[in-house]
Amino acid sequence: MRASRTTPFSRVSAVVLGVLVAVLAYAPYAVSRGTQTQLVLLFCYVLMGTMWNLLAGYGGMVSVGQQAYIGIGSYGLVTIADQMGVPAVLAVPLAGVAAGAVAWVTSFLVFRLAGGYFAIGTWVVAEVLRLVFTQVDGLGAGAGVSVGAYGDLGPAYRIAVVYWLALATTVLSVFGVYLLMRSRTGLGLTAVRDDPVAASSLGVGVAGAKRLVYVAAAVGCGMAGALIASNTLRVQPESAFSINYTAVMMFVVVIGGIGAIEGPILGAVLYFLLERELSHFGAWYLVLLGIVVVAFTLVLPKGLWGLVAGPRRQVFPVGLTVMRS
Amino acid sequence: MNLVNAVVQGVLLGGLYALLAAGLSLIFGVMRLVNLAHGAFAVTAAYGSLTLVQHLGWHPLMTLAVVVPVFAAAGFGLQRGVLTRAATRGPLTPLLVTFGLAVIVESLLLTGFSADSRTLPTGQLSVASVRLTGTVSVGVLPLLTFAVGVVAVLGLQWFLFRTPAGRLMRATSDDREAARIVGADDRRVFATATAIALGLVAVAGVFIGMRGTFAPSSGAGVLLFAFETVVIGGLGSLWGTLAGGVLLGVAQLLGAAIDPAAGVLAGHVVFLVVLAVRPEGLFPKAVIA
């Protein structure tokens, strides 16, 4: 008997994932621009879902205000790339850093609220940012602003660059969350989520761990915002700070499976397909999404991945499994 | 004097916010559950009233006689059917469920009534006013709204602290297990609390519709104002709720008097300042909830 992190399942899936990422990286040479633009959106769903899962599934913090950091990321790209002249490849991570900085300051306010009131508090912060950006004339005020950062590249090359940026950002972020959850800090976080009082009595720095997660999730959402802006080339306060982003994150995490790294990836793919097939039903499509969230939360709280996962069946093994050697 | 007028109107608006906040606060106080669909429910009540006004030609105030009992019954059912299951599964579940409910309700309103802004026609009531001083006059409708808010807060206070049912509710909130041991039916108590909260929400929704415009997407704003009122006032303090509502209302209308686009933002800023400087609220809880 020995304790092992990897299992046969995880070793096989690691190879499969590696091949998948390689295939996706080759895609710009093989698929149309329209497909690439669609896939960027899928990568953003994976990224946003992963960040919301980090917050709620691992940090125990339900935020209804993550659109704040999508918006900061979108406007951050415009400011850093267009107005300060930084290359777009660097501007995307820097926009994430900007969102993280805002989140760090915000955390000192919203962390004074517990549980459900924390959720609405984060929403107020997002609304404040939306209303403020509606007033900033230098960024187009309510009408919004166009993204010119990729102007020197031809359209085909621009779309490929954004695609690779989105793929790299998403893969690195998911891997980053995996490393974080394997670490001592990750273990502490899980303990904090399950029982903050007990965790604190065992010497886990509760406030610090939560703040780290909150800032990290904002960095990820900020990069997602920058990528969405790179994809649509337009930033407007009403849509950049829309609560719909948080609704998407919640949906992705709930159907995929909360508290597992695999969950939001699965959920993002499902959401992406559902949106393609059903979004022309308009409001009825949203009714369906709402019903699915309620039903999954009550009936299948571990999501679809929860049906598949087991101690030996994890793509991203964060814990140790006892193996018969 | 424009600013004096803004303050007076703001105080009166505070009554409406207190009414909204009382429902949110009651559910949280009794069940530790934050209802993210609170605003969506209020807007639904306004649409319910609108439907009665259009089809039966009733005055919006008369529709309260139908809308409030229907919402109270729906609240009882909602608690029994959905929230009881959600509340026992840790803190994440109720938030996800009520957020999902808010999305469902808002989208259904969108399919039924379109995205257009509507208002409830109040006839003579919308123009009737009382002159306080030479320059400040107060509309009868805002005055009535304020009175209803105050009466609701007073009534809730009286119910929770002066009646056996209220005492049972506080006891169940404090310690569910102990309340069960002495024979309280905790599920019934929780369902009653939700019924009262939804009744209050319905009243608030109809008054929102009479005071101004509403659309399916208005629920988010309503929820945020109710929440800000609760936090500014101090969690669990009903009197604080009234003070919180007044402060929020005054901040919004003063802000709007200075710059029409800044009203809502001014309210949010006051909330953030209170959170930064006095996170326990103006009247920290001594009591329920």
- Say yes or no for a CB contact (<8 Å) between B103 and A289: yes
pLDDT at A3 over 80: no
- How far does A28 lie from chain B, in Å, by closest CA? 36
Question: Is the predicted pLDDT of residue A279 greater than 50, yes or no?
Answer: yes
Which pLDDT tens digit goes with each residue over A137-148?
777 777 778 887
Asked if residue B241 is part of any domain, the answer here is yes
User: Are residues A230 and A96 in contact, defined by beta-carbon separation less than 8 angstroms?
Assistant: no
Tell whether B41 is within 8 A of chain A (Cβ).
no
Of residues B39 and B178, more confidently modeled:
B39
Angle between helices B238-258 and B219-233 (to 10 degrees): 120
Closest-CA residue to A235 (of A144, A151, A149) = A144
* pLDDT value for B59: 87
Q: Distance between CA A318 and CA A261 in Å, rounded? A: 9
The average confidence (pLDDT) of chain A is: 87
Distance (Å, whole) CA A226 – CA A150: 12
Q: Which tens digit of pLDDT belongs to each residue from B89-116?
A: 777 888 899 999 999 999 999 999 988 8
Per-residue model confidence (pLDDT) at position B289: 42
Closest CA to B266 of B23, B6, B89: B6
Residue B287 lies inside a defined structural domain of this protein: no
B269 contacts chain A (CB < 8 A): yes
CATH of the domain at B140: 1.10.3470
Contact criterion met (CB below 8 Å) for A267 and A42: no
Contact A258, B92 (CB under 8 A): yes
User: What percent of chain A clears pLDDT 90, i.e. is strictly above it?
Assistant: 40
Percent of chain A with pLDDT over 70: 97
CA distance B156 to B167: 12
Please check whether residue B188 lies inside any domain of the structure. Answer: yes
pLDDT band per the 50, 70, 90 thresholds, residue B47: very high
pLDDT band for A324, please (50, 70, 90 cuts): low
CA distance B107 to A239: 18
Confidence of residue A325 (pLDDT cuts 50, 70, 90): low
Q: Which residues, other chains included, contact B97 with Cβ-Cβ below 8 Å and sequence gap of 6+?
A: A293, A294, A297, A298, B82, B83, B86
Chain B neighbors of A301, CB-CB under 8 A: 89, 93
- Residues B61-72: tens digit of each pLDDT: 888 889 999 999
Give A146: exposed, middle or buried? Use CB within 10 Å, 0-12, 13-18, 19+.
Answer: middle
Alpha carbon of residue B276 to chain centroid: 24
| Mean per-residue pLDDT, B6-12 | 89
Report which listed range, A149-153, B76-80, B276-280, is most confident.
B76-80
| Cβ(B80)–Cβ(B204) below 8 Å | no
The predicted structure's pLDDT at residue B1: 54
Which residues form the domain of B215?
2-277
Is there a contact between B256 and B262 (Cβ–Cβ < 8 Å)? yes
How far apart CA A179 and CA A318 sit, in angstroms, is: 8
Measured between alpha carbons, how far is B164 from A60 in angstroms, rounded to an integer? 37
Whether A177 contacts A116, CB under 8 Å: no
Instruction: Give the mean model confidence (pLDDT) for residues B13-23.
Output: 92
pLDDT at position A87, please? 86
Task: State whether B85 and A291 contact (CB < 8 Å).
Answer: no
Query: Does the CB of B256 have a partner CB in chain A at under 8 Å?
Result: no
A110, burial (CB in 10 Å: exposed 0-12, middle 13-18, buried 19+) = buried
Q: How confident is the model at residue B287 (pLDDT cuts 50, 70, 90)?
A: very low
Cβ-based neighbours of B273, under 8 Å, separated by 6 or more: none
Q: Would you give the end-to-end CA distance of chain A in angstroms?
A: 5
Residue B288 lies in a domain: no
- Counting one residue from chain A and one from chain B, the pairs whose CB atoms sit within 8 A come to 126
Q: Is A194 on the interface with B (CB under 8 A)?
A: no
Strands B137-139 and B129-131, by their bridges, are antiparallel
Quick one: average pLDDT of B232-259? 88
B231:A117 CB<8 A: yes
| Level-2 CATH architecture, domain A2-323 | Orthogonal Bundle (1.10)
Average pLDDT over residues A60-70: 92
When pLDDT is averaged across residues A318-324 and rounded to a whole number, the result is 69
Chain B CA closest to residue A59: B92
Q: Which residue has the higher pLDDT, A300 or A8?
A: A300
Confidence bin at B248 (pLDDT 50/70/90):
very high
pLDDT at B88 over 80: no
The position carrying tokens 């009550």 is: A298
Q: pLDDT tens-digit profile of B21-33?
A: 999 888 888 888 8
**A71-110 residues touching B, CB cutoff 8 A:** 109
Assess whether pLDDT exceeds 80 at residue A276: yes
Q: Of the candidates B27, B20, B19, which has an alpha carbon nearest to the alpha carbon of residue B289?
A: B27
CA-wise closest residue to B106 among B66, B53, B47: B47
Distance CA B183, CA B204 (A): 34
Task: Tell me, rounded to whole angstroms, the distance of Cα A89 from its chain centroid.
Answer: 19
| pLDDT given at position B282 | 76
A284–B96 C-beta distance less than 8 A: no
Q: What is the pLDDT of residues A130-186, one digit of tens each?
A: 999 988 877 777 777 888 777 777 777 888 899 999 999 999 999 999 998 888 888
Structural domains in chain B (count): 1
Share of chain B above pLDDT 70, in %: 98
Q: A28, A29, A58, A56: which is closest to A43 by C-alpha? A: A28
Nearest to B104 among A62, A250, A291 (CB): A291
**Integer Cα distance of B217 and B103 in angstroms:** 10
Q: What is the mean pLDDT of chain B?
A: 87
Residue B289 domain flag: no
